Chain A
Amino acid sequence: MTTTQTREAMNEQFDRRTLDWYIDKLVEIIVFISGISAIIFVVGIFVFVTMEGMGFLFDSFSFSEFFGSEYWEPSDEDAPEYGILALIAGTASVTGLAMLIAIPFSLGTAIYIAEFSTGKTREYLKVLVELLAAIPSVVWGFIGLTIMNPLIIEIFDVPVGLTVLNAGIILGLMAAPIMTSIAEDALKAVPDRYREAAEALGATRWQVIYKTVLPAAKNGLLGAILLGVGRGFGETMAVLMATGHAVNIPGSVFDSVRALTATIAAELGETAVGSEHYQVLFTIGIFLFLITFVINLTADLIVRGIKNQ
């Protein structure tokens, strides 16, 4: 090999190396931008929803009327009133009932799957729970409308079946599988040596669970519950179809109500872009965004708390 040939070969190799280096840098930039896209989108959601609702928010927004009035009368031509108190009550009552159902059942199921069941049974149950979590919300709403509605009318002898009870059960069944998965993860995260130590002291399986596993998994379970609450709060289609959609502060579980999310879903299509009603719906959107933001943030802080211990 002559010197020139060697030099050429070396140059070629050097060029390839620099090219690879540039590609590497380019990829790093692309990947970084994609990485921060989640932040961009979350900020984007807040900015764009606020932008559309801004007109109302800075013009005629009154804190006491918006949150304090139970009159939601957006189509009143002379003096439309935008009070979301009844809508908040609707969302809260449905979510509350759903959690009353979902919390014991999801925690019980999670404990059964994680602590009592073994081998194949555990695998099958986990798959089943995962499949339940996948059922779309519009299908749940349809179930509330067509199966639960006549059932409630018949069993409780009431005139209307589209009520807090209906939506609460539907939402509870909907949220439970997701809460089960998260709660089961939390139980699984408790190290086995905790269980072994308790068993070595003569504790029965239930004593191990009650005195050792549950206290150790406390934060994770709380996180699961909070995420369930967030999910119930933000659920739209099922609540739209199963609550009866009547603006009402419920006196019992047999009253029809209307949820915040459902109001947006039902009315956005009928409002003129840029009108006050349209802006109010976006303001409700901001409120929902902030609430779920706080719930998710709290859940994350609690769950992360155990990981750092």
Chain B
Amino acid sequence: MSVESMSVEAMPVENKLTESLFAESQLNVKNKKIQSLYRVLFLMMTLLLILPVLIILGTLIVKGGSMISIDFLFTDPINGMTEGGIFPALLGTVWLVSLALLISVPLGIAAAIYLSEYASENWFTRAINLAIINLAGVPSIVHALFGVGAFVMFFGFGTSIMAASLTLAIMTLPVVIVSTREALQAVPHAFREACWNMGATRWQTIRRVVLPNAVSGILTGVILEVSRTTGETAPIMFTGAAFFLPFLPQSVFDQTMALSLHLFVVSTQVPNVPESLPYAVALVLIGMVLLMNSVSIAFRMYLRGKKKW
């Protein structure tokens, strides 16, 4: 600043004139100040949104990190869940998530194929899209009520892994449909036309050309769904997840423990839990969810870099 003003003073008179001609008006200077002010303001907002979460994650790691060991992951909880590990809850979550995926992934992919490859722009397709948005927006506890009314009572599955997984599957179905539809629509239309011109039927085109080109995008969505399903608690509370079970589930019609519900139980329902135990459970849960999310994001970025068209 001082260097500039000095050099201006040292300049001959005509130069000074042109300088002032192109100098910024006061309004301009003021506007620029306002602009940088807002820039800083929005940056602060961004940081204020992100920082607390990072602090919270740090706290979880500091308070719960020391408890996590192979033993913690693979032993049963003992002494009224105040000691021991989380193995049955971990295994239960794997059961619930796998079965939910088995149901929702084929259904979701098929639905996305219909929406992307068959459906035309009309009120009917709009109704389907609206239903998908609503399915994603219905509160998780209402999904739980639906699970109780439909799967536990009406279809007679009782409170079981089956009922809980079905509830989870329906709840996370929109994730699969939306991401798969995006992956399918990213395949250029010319690919399909080329295939049709060879005399292929619609399904042959989808199976041999569209799906292979979209498979990695679909996979990204599936990983995202795994992460969503892992963290859900309310929908499984009354449909199949138990607070504590002294045995592991033997079939899909048994109840099971689950990691997300276990966190709720040890942090609110069980007396005399050592302080670090719920932190450790929360850390395992959030670790699983964030890991899968990161894999999904990294995968997506890798694909974007590799895309040939």
Contact = CB atoms under 8 A, between A and B. Distances in A.
Interface of A: 20-21, 23-24, 27-28, 30-32, 34-39, 41-42, 44-45, 48-49, 51-52, 104-106, 108-109, 111-113, 116, 123, 125, 127-132, 134-139, 141-143, 145-147, 173, 176-177, 180, 204-207, 209, 227, 230-231, 233-237, 241, 261, 264-265, 268-269, 273, 281-282, 285, 288-289, 292-293, 295-297, 300
B143 interface: yes
B119 interface: yes
Given A24-B203, A39-B128, A145-B267, A136 B142 contact: no
B264 A23 contact: no
A261 B201 contact: no
Given A116-B39, A234-B137, A264-B141, A23 B201 contact: yes
A143 B45 contact: no
A72 B92 CA distance: 35
Interface stretch (B73-81, B170-178, B185-193): B170-178
Contact of B231 (A41, A138, A180, A230): A138
B289 A134 contact: yes
Contact of A32 (B118, B279, B294): B118
A300 B286 contact: no
B153 to A, nearest CB: 7
A19 to B, nearest CB: 10
8 contacts: A34-B108, A44-B146, A48-B149, A116-B39, A146-B278, A177-B49, A206-B39, A234-B137
B282 interface: yes
Given A233-B139, A268-B148, A34 B293 contact: no
Contacts of A123: 301
Given A36-B128, A106-B49, A112-B45, A41 B170 contact: yes
A138 B260 contact: yes
Interface string B270-284: 000000001100100
Contacts of B203: 20, 23-24, 27-28
A292 B130 CA distance: 13
Interface stretch (B2-10, B15-23, B109-117, B245-253): B109-117
Contacts of A141: 264
Nearest to B263: A138
A21 B231 contact: no
A293 B137 CA distance: 8
A37 B111 contact: yes
Given A236-B140, A237-B264, A261-B141, A38 B233 contact: no
Contacts of A104: 45
A130 B139 contact: no
A38 B52 contact: no
- Of B34, B48, B264, which is in contact with the most chain A CB atoms at under 10 Å from its CB? B264
Nearest to A209: B38
A269 B243 CA distance: 11
Contacts of A297: 130, 134
Contacts of A281: 145
B142 A45 contact: yes
A300 B131 CA distance: 11
Nearest to A259: B141
B56 A143 contact: yes
A171 B33 CA distance: 35
B31 interface: yes
Given A24-B201, A34-B110, A35-B110, A130 B293 contact: yes
Interface residues of B, number: 86
B34 A131 contact: no
Given A20-B203, A137-B231, 19 more contacts: A27-B203, A27-B206, A30-B110, A38-B111, A39-B127, A51-B154, A108-B45, A109-B42, A127-B297, A132-B49, A227-B137, A234-B139, A234-B140, A237-B140, A264-B141, A264-B144, A289-B138, A289-B139, A296-B133
Interface of B: 31-32, 34-35, 38-39, 41-43, 45-46, 48-50, 52-53, 56, 59, 107-108, 110-111, 113-115, 117-119, 127-128, 130-135, 137-146, 148-150, 153-154, 170, 173-174, 177, 201-204, 206, 227-228, 230-234, 237-238, 260-261, 263-264, 267-268, 278-279, 282, 285-286, 289-290, 293-294, 297, 301
B195 to A, nearest CB: 13
Contacts of B42: 108-109, 111-112, 116
Given A39-B127, A146-B278, A282-B149, A128 B50 contact: yes
A297 B130 CA distance: 7
A24 B207 CA distance: 11
Nearest to A301: B130
B150 A125 contact: no
Contacts of B294: 131
A297 B127 CA distance: 11
A104 B38 CA distance: 13
A138 B233 contact: yes
Given A31-B118, A147-B59, A269-B237, A108 B293 contact: no
Nearest to B57: A135
A131 B293 contact: yes
Contacts of A237: 140, 233-234, 264
- Of A138, A147, A176, which is in contact with the most chain B CB atoms at under 10 Å from its CB? A138
Nearest to A287: B142
A34 B114 contact: yes
A147 B138 contact: no
